[in-house]
Chains A and B, each alone.
Chain A
């Protein structure tokens, strides 16, 4: 094997220095009764063989289909420089920057990432990353419970169903009361939220744009929540923040979200990036690593991991979270991406997504018996109602080279004919026209 560099002579010399006669002697603490009963693995392969085998596997996947499926996970343009820079092994073969003098590059990058996330959401303090958008909601919920000392949570059903089900899994053994409120005409149902809101409610969890793609202004809900001493957590889609009202502008306390759209490939589900950004009063209750600026002995600016007294390696069972390894490399991609897209670019990008999606709405609405839901505004994702069950339509659309969207009936009762369609900047006008044409053909057939 080529990965262990030792020659036979090295091994002999080292054994001699240790004072044992064989490597096996070093394993004596593992008594015969504890030895592996089996280790039936294949023999190793060469690099060439492994790469070829994996290339074959990769060719069994469908990377060629034109993708109109989003549902929280989006195909966006990724500038080549993101891969080039995040692909530098001085970054990716390092680890948690425990030693600041030998990790300034990483620490500064994370500080820059924190700044970019604060700018996006408008809130005061971001952490260095969480695993994904779903665990970020869970962490935010736990944080709200700690801050308020209450145990009830109002969960808007416009929050991605995947995240809601993760939240229920994590809290199955905790004594938390959840109420789920409906979406009406695409948006959060105020009436229902206010009905449940009381002085036992720790947090209201919302999403903007919500799972159906609808854009909302949650300012009124936040005001009402605060009058009960209840916090508001909002999950946001970072690209939409090139255009949409920020969590801070709505008064939201904790913004979280999935950062995959910030320069990360879809990669069949990960690694992704959970981000969290909070009002500064809550910083000591926040989970995850945080980088801060300070000075060295000569008065020069430098960066360190800070507020570590919140974390598991110090606080153990009393820590704000159990998180240790996080998604730092993904956060690096995000800050490189946001730097490349830049201040003006982000606005343009949001506008491209919005306009292309509006164009798609208009074309799809012209297909006989197709209804485009228009009761609320949308950003780059919207709901259409088809004259047929969506699952069959999706199957036929793949034969024409399209992933048509997400079948809402799979997770929402009575929505078997509803399709969630996403249009990002990577779709040209022709792609959209072709998509509408294909859909019409499938529906007529």
Chain B
């Protein structure tokens, strides 16, 4: 399809702006003005509406396709939360209003959402307090590691290392590094757990923290988690919980009860808010009591008369980590989602998510290698090593799924599984949908034996066939240029 820039025609306009209704003054001096105009599209409203409507149809999405993208929790996003987020009483509120003199009374509804959400998340995770400021999961990780650094610094030694297992998500080591730590990587054992002996051998008083994901990225609940927390705490290293996979354990287990010190959640995953082509997300961070005083400012406090106000006077706070109070629109949707499901609804989410993943696991394990063969939580990770012997990669299988109108699982992650195929069906998918997926996966496995080329040629029914990614890097073309 042509670009909107290529459809542009000089003189064409979409938006009609109000006319200038004030007397005209002299403009700015020439040195302040741009010389070259911005070559934005010149198109009618219909041109633009048709263009983006057609682009929207060139995507797989949860609303149009099964989307078992592991680690990303592509569950159905209920529509009423969109309606709530668009209410003018929320969408038109200036984020600074509550920080003006007596201004908080103009934002009590929005502040109540934040205040209540922080408390609900604390109960869901068993943490002492939450901040909803972080803008995505990785931003929550960075915030969490900064809190850990502040904790150690207050004790007089910032420490040097952060430990992560080799199964961790790439954001974990990246966040630790950006916060100024050296990263120590621990291999996984044959069960897919972080190797406990090696872990213990790396623990010392220079370790600031260990970052874990539980269930881990293999979809396995690490039953040794209590021992890890205990060993870490012995040298006063803090334990960080990457909560991207919380969906599996809602109401069943809580990181706070295991002994974790810091938790981040991905509201855009576990709590049903749309991820929109890569975001926005929301990555709230919960802490145990000993980290409370370091939380970002402002904090929200409730007066005796019930008025919610900002509190800035927190001398040990790590400061501001977001301009305001997080991605409010995303938080609002998650809040509505939690109110809607309530206690039993959230437990049912975890149960159905785990049931669906295990169903896929059992139905497919005859056809694909399952390197860590045990009951899984919300996702299961297969490997296409068997297919690879015939020259078929995880990528080829993914492309065949696309041809069959199914969004592929996450592939090549976690890095410890060769040719990984990471399937997270989520709780909102029916047995019929799963059965169809299983059928297509079996077809792919059959083609890998009978006709590998069939998979290499997939997909055959999309707007474009396989794209030359090497060329994209070699001949960088990152924007359109006017002719």
Contacts and interface: CB of A to CB of B under 8 A. Distances in A.
A170 to B, nearest CB: 7
A100 B252 contact: no
A14 B84 contact: no
Contacts of A114: 478-479
Interface in A6-56: 6, 10-11, 13-15, 17-20, 23, 25-31, 33-47, 50-51, 53-56
Given A83-B86, A283-B478, A100 B408 contact: no
Interface in B316-349: 318-330, 332, 336, 338-349
A174 interface: yes
Given A34-B257, A330-B279, 15 more contacts: A25-B375, A55-B87, A62-B106, A89-B63, A105-B57, A169-B296, A245-B32, A265-B91, A266-B91, A266-B93, A297-B466, A324-B169, A328-B280, A354-B28, A355-B22
Contacts of A391: 100-101
Interface in B368-391: 374-375, 377
Contacts of A297: 465-466, 468
A27 B43 contact: no
A394 to B, nearest CB: 5
A271 B329 contact: yes
Contacts of B97: 62, 69, 403
B477 interface: yes
B61 A42 contact: no
B4 interface: yes
Interface in B44-90: 45, 48-49, 51-65, 67, 69, 72, 74, 76-78, 80, 82-90
A106 B277 contact: yes
A178 interface: no
Interface stretch (A193-201, A367-375, A425-433): A425-433
Contacts of A330: 279-280
Q: Which 7 A-B pairs have the closest CB atoms?
A: A58-B89, A44-B342, A269-B324, A329-B276, A62-B106, A169-B319, A60-B109
Nearest to A69: B94
A88 interface: yes
A177 interface: no
Interface in B434-483: 459, 462-469, 471-473, 475-480
A167 to B, nearest CB: 9
A168 B31 CA distance: 33
B63 A268 contact: no
Interface residues of B, number: 208
B4 to A, nearest CB: 5
Interface stretch (A127-135, A227-235, A436-444): A127-135
- Specify the main secondary structure of chain B where it touches its partner: loop
B304 interface: no
Interface stretch (B13-21, B194-202, B231-239, B284-292): B13-21
B192 to A, nearest CB: 11
A54 B337 CA distance: 11
Contacts of A31: 223
Contact of A41 (B38, B322, B342): B342
A31 B221 CA distance: 10
B344 A44 contact: yes
B205 interface: no
B355 A23 contact: yes
A205 interface: no
Nearest to A63: B92
A58 B342 contact: no
Interface in B82-129: 82-97, 99-103, 106-110, 112-113, 120, 123-124, 126
B55 A108 contact: yes
A411 to B, nearest CB: 10
Contact of B87 (A58, A77, A172, A318): A58
B253 to A, nearest CB: 5
B225 interface: yes
Contacts of A346: 38, 40
Contacts of A33: 226
Contacts of B352: 4, 6
A317 B168 CA distance: 11
A112 to B, nearest CB: 6
B276 A340 contact: no
Given A26-B355, A354-B27, A79 B15 contact: yes
Interface in A386-414: 391-392, 394-395, 398, 403, 406-407, 410
B95 to A, nearest CB: 3
Interface string B357-372: 0110111000000000
Given A3-B76, A61-B90, A398 B23 contact: no
Contacts of A46: 340
A281 to B, nearest CB: 12
Contact of B149 (A43, A47, A172): A172
Interface residues on A, range: 35 or more
Interface in B135-193: 135-139, 141-142, 146, 149-150, 153, 158, 169-171, 173-180, 183
Nearest to B69: A95
B15 A345 contact: yes
A270 B107 contact: no
Interface centre among B100, B123, B251 (most CB of A within 10 A): B100
Contacts of B83: 51
Interface centre among B27, B138, B277 (most CB of A within 10 A): B277
A39 B431 contact: no
Contacts of B329: 267, 270-271
B263 interface: no
A25 B362 CA distance: 15
Interface string A48-84: 0011011111111111010101011101010101011
B90 to A, nearest CB: 5
B318 A89 contact: no
Nearest to A121: B38
A246 to B, nearest CB: 5
B14 A340 contact: yes
Contacts of B468: 294-297
Given A27-B354, A322-B174, A340-B15, A241 B34 contact: yes
Interface centre among A89, A258, A325, A356 (most CB of B within 10 A): A325
A348 B154 CA distance: 54
Contacts of A345: 13-15, 17, 40
Contact of A327 (B279, B430, B467): B279
Contacts of A325: 136-138, 266, 268, 275, 278-281
B402 interface: yes
A272 interface: yes
Contacts of A119: 38-40
A125 interface: yes
A102 to B, nearest CB: 4
Interface string B249-264: 1011110011000000
Contact of B318 (A142, A169, A174): A169
B40 A116 contact: yes
Given A294-B467, A329-B274, A5 B429 contact: yes
Contacts of A27: 252, 354
A315 B477 CA distance: 22
